[in-house]
Structure 1
Amino acid sequence: MNDLIHAVAAFLLPPTGAFPLLLLAWWLRHRRRWLSGALFASGLLAVWVGSTELGALWLQDRLLGPQQAVTVQALRDVPPRQSVIVVLGGGARRLMPEYGSAQLKTVSIERLRYGIWLSRQTDIPLMFTGGTPRDASDDTLTEAGVAARTAREEFGFTLAWQEDRATDTRENARYTAELLRGKGIRRVVLVTHDVHMRRAMRAFREALPPEVELVAAPMNLALPGIEWRDLLPSQEGTARARYLGYEWLGYVAGH
């Protein structure tokens, strides 16, 4: 059933989510011509929004609100050992043939790299949270374990903590809060992609004690201004729109 829900959701995400509008417009073309035309125009607009960088960013700003990058200076008013940078895992594969071993997915690598950069700039210890990948054959392989190995071997960096039980954002928050309990942490700096940040912040705010400050450190933020290429369909625009649709549905559903 869970796979069926994911399959239906995948079809409804941009830009294919506009297909029902276009099909309904075609079905009504002889019965309600004005309604058919309106639906067809709405479907075309939805396809454009769901496949261009400008359309996806416009929709993201209205659904999730604007976000800003955290500054290194803003993280230096609390002693480093009373803070922790928490990187949220975005997935791993149990085997990548070209490496011959388990590897992090692209979004996880991006988050880990940014978290390591922030840690080196501020001396704040780094934690990675992520459990067993979906395609793993057993629970001995965890995303946090792969992240620790990647950080050590590819970045020469050692994680302070690994949270290796979480399988979704709420569990990331709950198990992280449990692991940090009693360690004197006053501030948590949360690293994830900008589209995921709103849902992640809600989950961590609910899980952490109220006296612990929560700071958003979003990544993959868009540059200000637009170019004419942003109006054209692109892989980046489609990927952002689909990710946005997935995160917005998850936020509305309370996950």
Structure 2
Amino acid sequence: MIEVMDMAARLTHPAVQALLLGIVSLVLVVRRRPMAAAWSGAVALAWLWVASTPAVALALRDTLAAPAPDHPARADAIVVLGGETLPRIDWSQPTTRAGKGLALWRDGYAPLLLVSGRDQARTLAEGYAAAGVPMQDLRVDGSSRNTHENARNSATLLAASGASDILLVTSAIHMRRAAASFRKEGVNVSPVPASDAHAVLLLAPRWLPRRDALTLTARCLRERLALWVYHLRGWA
């Protein structure tokens, strides 16, 4: 299932879609259908252009992103999900997942700090320990491969610690699916999204293509597909 999801996620990237349309255009040329080939090629270029614009990328982001609360509620635990390139953990600039989780713990919003994700949980835990979080306040789920497993495995660890109310830290785009997955496991969630760092796109010309805008569009399309799959499978 994970392999199928990975393949489907690649197909949601506008560059891959444009490439496939380009291949279709070449096939139509070989089959001596120049008009259809021209239309296919034009659609491929137009879609790649549109998907690369800040206007479209930010509009897609706004349909997914969860706003950050000014004052999070107190909770039993803070749960930080992996899934991004980890910066140096710096509580003075709590804009990333790692930094926001540490800042919430240091500000006393919850006594426990749980990190989840096979790719980054160990690194996060080591960073938090080095930043002064006692080992007895840390919980580590280092086996989860996706958001569904993040929620399922974290729920087990939380229950063992007597925790039911959490502050969930993940990216704003990912928050809707993540929060729904944790609630499906019986966990009470207060979302605290980390910054997606798209301020540059807000200042860029809205209809001129940019690589970072294309990346954001691809992330949003992938997340839309994942939301649909999770609801279909009853995971969220």
Q: Secondary structure at the match of 1:47?
A: helix
Structure 1 partner of 2:177: 199
Contact 1:86 1:190 in 2 (8 A): yes
How do residues 215-226 of structure 1 correspond to structure 2 at under 5 angstroms? 215-221=190-196, 222-223=198-199, 226=202
Deviation at residue 147 of structure 1 after TM alignment = 1.3
TM-score of the two chains, using structure 2 as the length reference: 0.74
Partners of 1:107 and 1:3 in 2: how far apart?
28
How do residues 1-255 of structure 1 correspond to structure 2 at under 5 angstroms? 6=6, 9-25=9-25, 27-28=27-28, 31=33, 33=35, 39-62=40-63, 64=64, 66-72=65-71, 74-75=72-73, 80=74, 82-90=75-83, 105-106=85-86, 110-125=96-111, 126-131=113-118, 133=119, 143-153=120-130, 155-158=131-134, 159-181=137-159, 183-209=161-187, 212=188, 214-221=189-196, 222-223=198-199, 226-254=202-230
Partners of 1:6 and 1:250 in 2: how far apart?
10
| Structure with more strand by fraction | 1
| Seq. identity, % | 27
TM-score of the two chains, using structure 1 as the length reference: 0.70
Deviation at residue 183 of structure 1 after TM alignment = 4.2
Aligned in 2, Cα 1:235/1:115: closer, same or farther, shift over 3 Å?
Answer: farther
CA RMSD after TM alignment: 3.3
Partners of 1:198 and 1:174 in 2: how far apart?
16
Partners of 1:220 and 1:199 in 2: how far apart?
16
Q: Secondary structure at the match of 1:162?
A: strand
Q: Secondary structure at the match of 1:253?
A: helix
Partners of 1:129 and 1:114 in 2: how far apart?
15
Unaligned runs of 5+ in 1: 92-104, 134-142
Deviates more, 1:233-242 or 1:107-116: 107-116
Structure 1 partner of 2:92: none
Aligned in 2, Cα 1:28/1:58: closer, same or farther, shift over 3 Å?
Answer: farther
Contact 2:54 2:202 in 1 (8 A): no
Give the number of aligned pairs.
219
Aligned in 2, Cα 1:107/1:26: closer, same or farther, shift over 3 Å?
Answer: farther
Contact 1:129 1:162 in 2 (8 A): yes
Contact 2:125 2:138 in 1 (8 A): no
| 1:156-186 deviation line (CA, Å, top 9, x unaligned) | 3345322223221111101111111164435
